[in-house]
Amino acid sequence: MEAKLQELKNRLVEVNDLESIGAVLNWDQSTYMPPGGAPARGRQMGTLALLTHQKATDPEIGHLLDDLRPYEESLPYDSDDASLIRVARRQYELNTKVPPAFMAQLQSHMAESYDLWTRARPANDFRMVQPALEKTLDMSRQLANFFPGYEHIADPLIDYADYGMKASSVRAVFNELRDSLVPIVQQITAQQPADDSCLHQVFPEEQQLAFGLDVIKRFGYDFNRGRQDKTHHPFMTKFSLGDVRITTRVKERDLGEAIFSTMHESGHAMYEMGINRSYEGTPLASGTSSGVHESQSRTWENLVGRSRSFWEFFYPRLQGVFRQQLGNVSLDTFYRAINKVQRSLIRTDADEVTYNLHPIIRFNLELELLEGSLEIRDLPEVWRERYASAIGVAPPDDKDGVLQDVHWYGGIIGGAFQGYTLGNILGAQFYAAALQAHPEIPAQIADGEFRTLHEWLRENIYQHGSKFTADELVKRVTGGPLDIKPFIAYLKKKYGAIYNLN
C-alpha cells in the first residue's frame, strides 16, 4: 500500500509540476512578456496543457486510486492520506469524465469567444458575440451532461469552482441574502451620498505601491515566498507553497484601486502560503473552493482593510505619505469615502453593501440560461430589467451591461459567479468565529498588529488546503452551515454606524 501511495503521489506531483509551470507561463505573459512573444507563447501553453491533461488522466492514476480505496477506508476521514486519496479521486473524475476532444474544442472555442469579446465590449456590440455565446451555452450544457445524475444542470458546473454546492441551496441562500440587502441599500441610498473626492486627487504610483506593500507585510504576506508585480488585472498565482505571487494595478487618480486590490490579492495569497507545507505538490495544496478563497481575500480587503480600526493605525501613515493630498482630510471623511455606498453598474467597482446584488443577478441568469427558460438573444434586455429592479440603476448600453464581465466570454456559463457572494458570506462567518475566539482582534488591528487574526485563520482554515470541502470547513469552524446572518449583522453594525441607521 505504501508503495502504491508513493506511486500515486509521484504521479500527482508530476501533474502539479506541469500545472505550476503553466502558471509561470501565464504570470510571465501578464507581467513582462514583450508583445512579440504572444503567438509562440499561446502555442507553448497549448503544448503544455495537452501534456498536463494526458498525465492527469493517465489510467494508471485510476488504477492506483481503486487499489488504494481499502486503505483510504481504513483511515480517519480527515487524515492526510485519506484526504489526499479522496481529493485526488474527485479531481481525477472531473478530469476523466470529459472526453479530451471535447475539452480541446471547448478551449479553442473559449479562446475565440474571448477574442471576440475584447473587441465587442469597446464597440458596445453584443450581437458580435451573440453566436459565440450561444455556442458557449450549448457546450456548457454538454459539459454538464458528462456528469449525469445531477439535481440541477448547473450543479456539475458549480462543482468545478465550489465543489459540493448545489444550485438549489445556493439559490435559496442568495434569495434570502437579497431580501435582507435590499432594505439596507434603500435606507442608505436615501441619504446624501458620501463625498469620496479625497480619493480622486493625484497620488504618485510609487508611493501607492510602497504603502500597499507595507500594509501586506504587516498582514503577514511573506515576501520570502512571494512578490508583487503590476498587471492589467490584479491576480494571485501560485507556483509552489514557497512561491505565491500577487499582482496589482495602480490608478494615479484613484487611491483605492491599488491599496484594496493589494490587500485583496494578499488575502488569496496568505491562504495558499498558510497551507500545510507537507502537502506540497499534491492536490491538497490549494485553497478548497472559490468561495472559501474569496472569503479570505474579502476578509483582508474589507473586514480588515475597510474597517475603522485598521485606518486608526494606517491613516496617519497614509497622511504622512500623501501630506499634500490628505493632510487636511479627517479620518472620518476618509473612512466614509472608502465605504461609500451607491447603486452602480459595475460589479468590480461596487461597495460592500451593494456588491452581492451583482453576482446574484448573474448567478440567476446562469441558471435560467442553462435551464432553457432564458435565451441568449434576450440577455441584454433581461440584464437591464434585472439591474433596474434589483439595484435600481439600468445600464444605458451593453458595454457596462451584459458585456462587462469577462467570465462568460472566456469561460463556460455556469458556476462562474456564486463564489464571489459565497466568499462574502463565508468571510463574515469565519471572521465572527475569529472574533468570538479572540475579541481582542479589532484592538490589535488598531495597533497595526495582525498576528492573532492571521494565526487563527492559518490554524482553522489555511493549513487544511483542500482537505475539507467548503461545507465541511464552515461546519468545522463555525459549528453550523452556510449562514448569511453574520454578514448581514456585520453590514448593519458597520453601516448603521456610518449612516446612523436605526
Q: Is position 481 an interface residue for a second copy (rule: CB under 8 A)?
A: no
Residue 242 or 372 with smaller CB distance to a second copy: 242
Q: Is position 49 an interface residue for a second copy (rule: CB under 8 A)?
A: no
Q: In angstroms, rounded to a whole number, what is the distance separating the alpha carbons of residues 342 and 349?
A: 10
Residue 130 or 463 with smaller CB distance to a second copy: 463
User: Grid coordinates representing 320?
Assistant: 504622512
User: Grid coordinates representing 471?
Assistant: 461545507
CB of 230 to a second copy, least distance (A): 12
Alpha-carbon distances of 38 from 28, 43, 187, 474, rounded to whole Å: 11, 9, 50, 42
Q: Is position 37 an interface residue for a second copy (rule: CB under 8 A)?
A: yes
Please list every residue from 270 through 329 that binds a second copy, using CB under 8 A: 280-281
Residue 43 or 97 with smaller CB distance to a second copy: 43
Q: Is position 13 an interface residue for a second copy (rule: CB under 8 A)?
A: yes
Work out which of 6, 43, 111, 381 binds a second copy, going by CB under 8 A.
Answer: 43
Work out which of 5, 33, 104, 394 binds a second copy, going by CB under 8 A.
Answer: 33
Q: Is position 224 an interface residue for a second copy (rule: CB under 8 A)?
A: yes
End-to-end alpha carbon distance in the chain: 63
Q: Is position 411 an interface residue for a second copy (rule: CB under 8 A)?
A: no
Closest C-alpha among 260, 265, 449, 419 to residue 340: 260
Residue 7 or 176 with smaller CB distance to a second copy: 7
Instruction: Give me Rg for the CA atoms of the chain.
Output: 23
Mask: binding to a second copy, 371-410, rule CB under 8 A, as x and -? ----------------------------------------
Work out which of 4, 9, 20, 472 binds a second copy, going by CB under 8 A.
Answer: 20
Residue 44 or 444 with smaller CB distance to a second copy: 44
3-state class (DSSP) for residue 235: coil
- The DSSP string of 6-37 is HHHHHHHHHHHHHHHHHHHHHHHHHHT--GGG
Half-sphere exposure of 469 (CA within 13 A, CB side): 17
Residue 53 or 358 with smaller CB distance to a second copy: 53
Per residue, the 3-state secondary structure of 45-110, as one string, reads HHHHHHHHHHHHCCHHHHHHHHHCHHHHHHCCCCCHHHHHHHHHHHHHHHHHCCCHHHHHHHHHHH
Q: In angstroms, rounded to a whole number, what is the distance separating the alpha carbons of residues 497 and 502?
A: 9
Mask: binding to a second copy, 142-161, rule CB under 8 A, as x and -? --------------------
Q: Interacting stretch for a second copy, rule CB under 8 A, among 14-22, 125-133, 137-145, 195-203?
A: 14-22
3-state class (DSSP) for residue 493: helix
CB of 284 to a second copy, least distance (A): 15
Q: Is position 227 an interface residue for a second copy (rule: CB under 8 A)?
A: yes
Which residues are the active-site residues? 265
Residue 37 or 480 with smaller CB distance to a second copy: 37
Q: Is position 32 an interface residue for a second copy (rule: CB under 8 A)?
A: yes
Amino acid present at 478? T
Q: What is the largest CA-CA distance in the chain?
A: 69
- Interacting residues with a second copy (CB under 8 A): 13-14, 17-18, 20-21, 24-25, 28, 32-41, 43-44, 47-48, 51, 222-227, 229, 239-243, 245, 280-281
